[in-house]
Amino acid sequence: MLINTLELLNLIPTKEDCFNMKNNIPQVSVFQFLRHSARILKNPLPFHKKNFEKHGDLFQLNLGFGKSVLFCRDSDLALLALQKQQKNFRKSDIQTKDLVKYVGKGLLTNEGDDWKTQRKLLQPTFYKKNIYSLLQIMQSTIEEELELFPVDEEFDIFPFFSTLAFKVVAKSLFGDAISDKEIETLQYITEEAQMMLVKELRQPYKKWWFSLTGELKDKIQLTNEARELILNIINERKKLPTQNKDLLDLMLQSTYEDGSVMNENQLLDEILILFIAGHETTSNALTFTIQLIAQDKQVKSKIDEEIKTISLNENIELREILSSSTYLSAVLNESMRLYPPVYFIDRVNNKAFSYKDFTFEKDTTFLFSLYAMHRRKDLWDQPLKFQPERFMKGENYSKQFFPFGAGPRKCIGNNFAMYEMLLVFHFLNKKFNITPKFESIEITPLISLKPKNAFVSLRRK
């Protein structure tokens, strides 16, 4: 019935796939989209792969009613949008409007001058010297959580990494000022809000139903409860002398050029975004990495050897552990190449521009597929092979490897995430041997690229 209606509206081209004669961009028709919609809803990546293989590095997916999205795996065009001509691009409404309902306007969701002001304010908070001051908090939190991992039994490790990563963010933000119960509440609310957003994005035709049933209102109310919980912690902290012991202290001391500080709502927005951005992508990356390690005995042996060498120095400092973990760093980079937690980056151009033989009209929505880009045969030697050594050869992959984005909007917490993951695997590999209990690595592409059925078994060393 829907397809018949679309035909009456002349929204389906006469050919399933055609070329836009104006700009030569390969087109994928709305009919193709609707025909595969059930599979796309479950996992869109095979559909994207098929069309990239058929059409090349660019194709335009027509969604009907005059709407379309341009999918891209061209790394040069991605760099142009993210870095070289980034002023001509903005984020899509998904982030600047849809996500705002749940986390407010912070670095992830803001645009223009407001974003520039906030980035300038918060950048020093995430300088390496400040992250180094959090390493002890990270270590104690990680080691406490690792003790809760099941031993000598088969289990899905993803939920455990998710809780671990959330607690690392919470403790790095608030130190001892937040209880385990409060962390559990915030984690529940954060994950509920994310799932609601996924529903809205994957099923836009049901938005009226989400509103009518009160489901959307309930999730918004949950985020308001999270804001109230965090605000209570902030107000209690303001009563104490400045100690510079966690991220909240640093954020409270951050000042704009005129000497003013963040207002209450702005501070809450930035903290909520840190929870969203700071735990989900990290837990995804940790899970994919442990699966890849568990499958490869040679890689596992090299990690063990590196950690053994590092541990010979009993008085080694945490920052020295990080700087000495060169192979483990390569393992993490290779894992994020194959399974980038942020597997798409969206942008919309503010004015028309030309690139190669293509012309893009103003307000074209681009989806840059990092997943596809990181697996291009012409950019990577044996792209489907897990080969950490490629990141130890001194080659510069900055023009084709974007696990944390690129340009001015590159993830502000990239050092925080890398340090946390290095410490997790350092202490996990010192404690446990890992045995895979899965046949292949499965994925669930939602807002981020999530692992699925990551069953392993841990045995104490």
On whether residue 210 sits in a domain, the answer given is yes
Torsion of CA 144, 148, 154, 157, to 10 degrees: -50
For the beta carbon of residue 9, count every other beta carbon within 10 angstroms: 12
On whether residue 228 sits in a domain, the answer given is yes
- Per the CB < 8 A criterion, the answer to whether 55 and 345 are in contact is no
Contacts of 415 (CB under 8 A, 6+ apart): 126, 128, 131
pLDDT at 391: 96
* Residue 147 pLDDT greater than 70, yes or no: yes
On whether residue 33 sits in a domain, the answer given is no
Q: Residue 250: which domain range?
A: 73-460
Give the range among 94-103, 213-222, 290-299 with minimum mean pLDDT.
94-103
Q: How far apart are CA 190 and CA 176, in angstroms?
A: 20
Q: Report pTM.
A: 0.91
End-to-end CA distance of the chain: 61
Mean pLDDT in residue range 342-359: 94
pLDDT at 67: 83
Which of residues 410 and 11 earns the better pLDDT score? 410
Beta strands in 77-209 (DSSP E): 89-90, 154-156
Which of residues 247 and 206 earns the better pLDDT score? 247
Give the range among 100-114, 125-139, 369-383 with minimum mean pLDDT.
100-114
Which of residues 197 and 51 earns the better pLDDT score? 51
- Per the CB < 8 A criterion, the answer to whether 63 and 30 are in contact is yes
Taking CA atoms, 1 is separated from 63, 209, 406, in Å, by: 16, 20, 44
Q: What 3-state DSSP class applies to 62?
A: strand
- Per the CB < 8 A criterion, the answer to whether 287 and 454 are in contact is yes
On whether residue 282 sits in a domain, the answer given is yes
On whether residue 395 sits in a domain, the answer given is yes
* Residue 205 pLDDT greater than 80, yes or no: no
How buried is 152 (Cβ within 10 angstroms: 0-12 exposed, 13-18 middle, 19+ buried)?
A: exposed
Mean pLDDT in residue range 358-378: 95
Q: Which of 232, 198, 231 is nearest to 216 (CA)?
A: 198
* Residue 310 pLDDT greater than 70, yes or no: yes
User: What average pLDDT does the chain have?
Assistant: 89
276-294 per-position pLDDT tens digit: 888 889 999 999 999 999 9
On whether residue 1 sits in a domain, the answer given is no
150-184 per-position pLDDT tens digit: 999 999 999 999 999 999 999 999 999 999 999 99
On whether residue 17 sits in a domain, the answer given is no
Mean pLDDT in residue range 367-384: 96
Tell me the CB-side half-sphere exposure of residue 64, using CA atoms within 13 A: 17
pLDDT at 23: 65
On whether residue 187 sits in a domain, the answer given is yes
Give the range among 31-45, 72-86, 153-167, 336-350 with minimum mean pLDDT.
31-45
* Residue 63 pLDDT greater than 90, yes or no: no
The helix (run of H) or strand (run of E) holding residue 19 is strand 17-19
Q: What percent of the chain has pLDDT over 70?
A: 95
- Per the CB < 8 A criterion, the answer to whether 201 and 94 are in contact is yes
pLDDT at 244: 66
- Length of the chain counted residue by residue: 461
The helix (run of H) or strand (run of E) holding residue 71 is strand 67-72
Rg (CA), the chain: 23
Which of residues 275 and 400 earns the better pLDDT score? 400
* Residue 45 pLDDT greater than 70, yes or no: yes
Total domains present in the chain: 1
5-38 per-position pLDDT tens digit: 233 233 333 333 444 434 688 999 888 888 887 7
* Residue 2 pLDDT greater than 70, yes or no: no
327-339 per-position pLDDT tens digit: 999 999 999 999 9
Q: Which residue carries 């959580």 as its tokens?
A: 145
CATH code of 106's domain: 1.10.630.10
Q: How far apart are CA 340 and CA 334, in angstroms?
A: 9
DSSP secondary structure letter of residue 358: E
Give the range among 26-30, 57-61, 63-67 with minimum mean pLDDT.
63-67
* Residue 363 pLDDT greater than 90, yes or no: yes
